[in-house]
Amino acid sequence: MQSPDAIAELARIWKRYEGDPDGAIHAITETAARALKVARASVWLLSEDATEMTCVDLYEAAEHRHSAGVVLRSVDFPQYFAAMLEEETIAAEDAHTDPRTSEFSKPYLGPLGIGAMLDAPIRTGLRLVGVLCHEHIGPTRVWGLGDAKDAAFLASLASLTLELKHRAMREALLAATLESTGEGILASDDKSVLAYNQRFLDMWKLDAKAMRSFEGVRNYISARTAMSGLVGAANEAFAGEAGESIDVLELDDGRVFERASRPQLMGPKVVGRVWSFRDITAQRRAEAALRASEAKMRDLAIRDGLTGLFNRRHVLELLNEAIARSLVAGERISIGLVDLDYFKKVNDELGHLVGDAVLRDFAKQLMQRFRASDHVGRYGGEEFLVVLRGANTSAAARIFDEVRRGFHTREFGDVPKYTFSAGIAELGVDGADAMELLGRADVRLYEAKRLGRDRTISG
Determine what percent of the chain falls in helix, strand and coil, rounding each to the nearest 5.
45, 25, 30
By CB atoms closer than 10 A (0-12, 13-18, 19+), residue 454 is: middle
Residue 155 CB neighbour total at 10 angstroms: 23
Tell me if residue 382 is catalytic: yes
Identify the active-site residue in 88, 382, 383, 402: 382
Spatial contact of 93 and 141, defined as CB atoms under 8 Å apart = yes
What long-range pairs does 409-412 form, CB within 8 A, spacing at least 24?
410/365, 412/361
Say how many Å lie between the first and final Cα of the chain, rounded.
73
Q: In what order do the strands lie in the sheet with 383-389?
A: 375-380, 383-389, 333-340, 420-426, 456-457
Q: Where are the alpha helices (DSSP H) in 303-392?
A: 312-329, 343-350, 352-369
How far apart CA 410 and CA 400 sit, in angstroms, is 15
How far apart CA 208 and CA 220 sit, in angstroms, is 14
Spatial contact of 249 and 213, defined as CB atoms under 8 Å apart = no
Spatial contact of 222 and 238, defined as CB atoms under 8 Å apart = no
Active-site positions? 382
